[in-house]
Chains A and B, each alone.
Chain A
């Protein structure tokens, strides 16, 4: 049997960022997949070695637009642990509120892209219309729509007053109401289910062996959520990881959609429990010699930051391992055996954030 090689090119309407996969096919079925990444490598890890450690927050936020708050949070947590700075409880809760708002925006973006991938453009527009409400509230409270720059070393840059918190609650309730109306389309519609159920199955054993993280692992039945370890006020909030047992595209859609509800619930809990206090602690001096690892749950999974400092104001090494990089082997396991028309959906369900992968 002869085989053809079809490139799932760097430019594709479905992909938010460029990713190249060579699909080796026989007739309509895929036999093998060879990835090639590197189209948006910007050398940000090297750039952080040339800037001061206070300026690095801005560099690290711009690694990815869709998960930027968690990047800044992981970096700030690492530096605070290295310098033994204890931030106030209020700052921890504020970080949680902005992080969960950012997670809602990321998941709504993904749901819209998923609908666009199978051609359901009106559903895509409806979900993104709800996402606009989150972007507006982020601009109103933190200053910008996408890269909100809310975190700084020692706490957060801005505070939220009572009026802003009430507004957040109103917006979040509106989003919940709107999402409940489209949930039936994502999860119960006959044609949508035909494209999602049973495709791209990742079994639990495979997910553990290939070290899948984030919603990929949770959709295969592994209740792994880094927020349960209790960093930054998550220890004082009450929630459980959302899991599903099937491991196919439908399961991942289910997990991400219900995580939006979980984030809304976490925001409400955080706003109810937030204590009074200062939102930032002054920071003096340079980080001492040493190395630290800091991990945070991004919308796509677990991100790992390794920081090494040699006592000067520049860091010696900053290394970040992003969740999409970790999920690519799982993608390569899911692709063989599936049909060509399912490939865009499969690649979208790992939630590829290639600008995170290649920094």
Chain B
């Protein structure tokens, strides 16, 4: 009987073990594997190692088009691509995968032409030559 009273008192004064999720979110831990946000396309050399190492076949690298795309629905967030990249340009973030707003957009394609950088290099060549 006494133990029950002690338990009731403890339950009344201690804070709840759950949090009200949408209103109060937990900060993600520093090194947790949340999602692959993308890659820094300026550093990418399109070697394709990340595509070969991915166990879920979620990455497609196209050297001719200079594009790097990831299918977020196939990705299992194992971070094998992050470890395998020789230029360390794949960005992983600690917050968990965000929901997609439309169902059609399954792929996140990031083609960015390196035309600006190539033009700059040509200009520099002209100056030094």
Chain A residues within CB distance 8 Å of chain B: 51-52, 54-56, 58-59, 62, 129, 136, 139-140, 143-144, 149, 157-158
Pairwise interchain contact A157-B55, C-beta atoms closer than 8 A: no
Pairwise interchain contact B78-A149, C-beta atoms closer than 8 A: yes
Produce 1/0 per residue, B69-105, CB < 8 A to A.
Answer: 0000000111110010000000000000000000000
Given A143-B31, A143-B32, A144-B33, A58 and B80 touching (CB < 8 A)? yes
Produce 1/0 per residue, B52-67, CB < 8 A to A.
Answer: 1111100000000000
Pairwise interchain contact A59-B55, C-beta atoms closer than 8 A: yes
Pairwise interchain contact B53-A144, C-beta atoms closer than 8 A: no
Pairwise interchain contact B76-A58, C-beta atoms closer than 8 A: yes
Pairwise interchain contact B33-A143, C-beta atoms closer than 8 A: yes
Chain B residues within CB distance 8 Å of chain A: 17, 29-33, 52-56, 76-80, 83
Pairwise interchain contact A144-B17, C-beta atoms closer than 8 A: no
Given A62-B76, A129-B17, A51 and B31 touching (CB < 8 A)? no
- Other than A55-B53, A62-B76, A129-B17, give 16 A-B pairs with Cβ distance below 8 A: A51-B55, A54-B53, A55-B54, A55-B55, A58-B56, A58-B78, A58-B80, A59-B55, A140-B29, A143-B33, A143-B79, A149-B33, A149-B78, A149-B79, A157-B83, A158-B31
Main secondary structure of the interface of B (DSSP, over half): loop
Provide the residues of chain A in CB contact with B30, threshold 8 Å.
Answer: 140
Pairwise interchain contact A140-B17, C-beta atoms closer than 8 A: no
Pairwise interchain contact B32-A55, C-beta atoms closer than 8 A: no
- State the CA gap A136–B32 with chains docked (Å): 10
- State the CA gap A59–B32 with chains docked (Å): 20
- Nearest first, the 7 closest Cβ-Cβ pairs linking A and B are A58-B55, A55-B55, A143-B33, A140-B29, A139-B32, A58-B78, A129-B17
Given A62-B76, A129-B17, A157-B83, A140 and B32 touching (CB < 8 A)? yes
Residue of A nearest to B28 (CB): A139
A-B contact count (CB 8 A): 35
Residue of B nearest to A143 (CB): B33
- State the CA gap A157–B78 with chains docked (Å): 11
- State the CA gap A146–B22 with chains docked (Å): 22
Distance (whole angstroms) from the CB of A251 to the closest CB of chain B: 27
Distance (whole angstroms) from the CB of A100 to the closest CB of chain B: 20
In the complex, which of the residues B52, B55, B56 has the most CB atoms of chain A within 10 Å of its own CB atom? B55
20 contacts between A and B (CB under 8 A): A55-B54, A55-B55, A55-B80, A56-B55, A58-B55, A58-B78, A59-B55, A129-B17, A136-B29, A139-B32, A140-B30, A140-B31, A140-B32, A143-B31, A143-B32, A143-B33, A144-B33, A149-B33, A149-B78, A158-B31
- State the CA gap A61–B76 with chains docked (Å): 12
Provide the residues of chain B in CB contact with A143, threshold 8 Å.
Answer: 31-33, 79
Residue of B nearest to A145 (CB): B32
Provide the residues of chain B in CB contact with A56, threshold 8 Å.
Answer: 55
Pairwise interchain contact B55-A144, C-beta atoms closer than 8 A: no
- State the CA gap A37–B33 with chains docked (Å): 34
- State the CA gap A59–B76 with chains docked (Å): 10
Provide the residues of chain B in CB contact with A54, threshold 8 Å.
Answer: 53
- State the CA gap A52–B30 with chains docked (Å): 30
Residue of B nearest to A148 (CB): B33
Distance (whole angstroms) from the CB of B25 to the closest CB of chain A: 15
Residue of A nearest to B29 (CB): A140
- State the CA gap A139–B17 with chains docked (Å): 18
- State the CA gap A54–B80 with chains docked (Å): 10
Distance (whole angstroms) from the CB of A280 to the closest CB of chain B: 10
Provide the residues of chain A in CB contact with B76, threshold 8 Å.
Answer: 58, 62
Residue of A nearest to B56 (CB): A58
Distance (whole angstroms) from the CB of A162 to the closest CB of chain B: 16
